Structure 1
Amino acid sequence: MKPTIKICGLQGVEVLKSIQSLPIDQIGFVFAPSKRRVTTEQASEMIAYLNHIKGQKDRNLPISVGVFVNPTEEELTQVLEHAALDVVQLHGDESPQFCEWVKKKFGVQVYKVISIRGEHIDVNVDASWFDEIRTRLECYQDVIDAILLDTHDPVYGGGSGRAFHWELIPQYAEWAKQAEIKLIVAGGLHPDNVRKLVDAYEVDGIDVSSGVETNGRKDIEKIKDFVERLKRDDYSS
């Protein structure tokens, strides 16, 4: 099965109108500090547009994902009272208890981001590096729907536009499969490398933001190119 596609960091309805015909599975709205940050009103407008066109299409349209970093309960409540998100993506140090509260309180899916730092680990020599990580992940197993791997950014936590070492993916993928949780990969993806990733590793979803931008703004042609390369039927390189 082909991985789902999430285009993250949209800030206006006009971009949605330009890409609504593409087979995109998720649209991401950033509520955390970022140059792509949106207000609740902006997100509500885009979600309303998605809901408006759902009745006019004969296929599934993208679901909405809100990206947060260490939000308070009050912040999440304020946002979700006005923006009917389908998924809350938590990009900080949120505890399993907080994830469980979000899931039960709002009835949404919860994605927990795992920020991967730049150091390289020779996984072929020693796989014990994952033991501690596995122990931490198991605490989240029953309260999240997906883990999302992204490159650590010291300022924003993620969204750096840099790739991490993909050799680390199989350990996470094996755990996610056993836990029956989706595995999504972000970090430095763009039209020229996304097929390399999906041909080499089994992932459930792909998340892209800066890789489909030009001068900090979403580039419609790059989005189309990204989606075409990922969704085409022939998966041979």
Structure 2
Amino acid sequence: MDQKTRDLTVVLFGNSSAVHFGDENILLGKAPEGNADFSQTVPESRKISGHRVNLINILDLQENELYLDSVDQTIDRLVSENEIHSFIFVLQLGQLTDSDKRGVEWLQKLFGEAVLPFTMILFTYEREEDDDKVIDELKKNPCLEQLVKKCGDRYYTCSKSMNNQSEMKMLLEKIEFTVSENSQRCYTAEMYNTVSDFRKSLQDSESQLSGKYYFCAPCIDTSTVMQSTYQCQF
């Protein structure tokens, strides 16, 4: 297939503090407005190194309540309208937060285990000399190493400002390679519907249990059921 004409749909998640927004940011551009309504989220189309990249920005979404109806409905719409080739977990080198440690677990809860073959980590660096420190970071941080393994050892580094054409081109080549290696070329609405239907049936079961065993409810911790289903171990 001619790489110059391939369209890629990419989801970026993680912490927005790991990037510098601005006109020179090739991948993300300017920062979203602070009061932007997530339910109005649509892919932003960009032309990068011969590719049309449809970018779905859900940075910082993991800080919000996971199962708010508005979030669930918006994700459902985005997946239904777009077959997704890659989920990119954006992390800043040397600044792994507790929220970051739970990032892949959060993604699994939302999209199911089928999302993992499409997931990679993008480490951003502030100074160019930090570009080569990934291996050292992995060696000294077991949690970070576990995150990378969870993503099939797929990772890449780029500047925090994302303004280097060569780095962005190589990132897209990395995504292309991942797509070619996957037996299923993209994450589909069918995959999402499977986990969404399971989640809804589980919530219905919890509601029924809560009503049926009202007087002994303190003895039942149903809130951990979903968590244990996709729990990441560190």
User: Which of the five TM-score ranges fits, normalised by the shorter chain?
Assistant: 0.3 to 0.5
TM-score, with length taken from structure 2: 0.38
TM-score, with length taken from structure 1: 0.38
- The structure that is helix-richer by fraction is 2
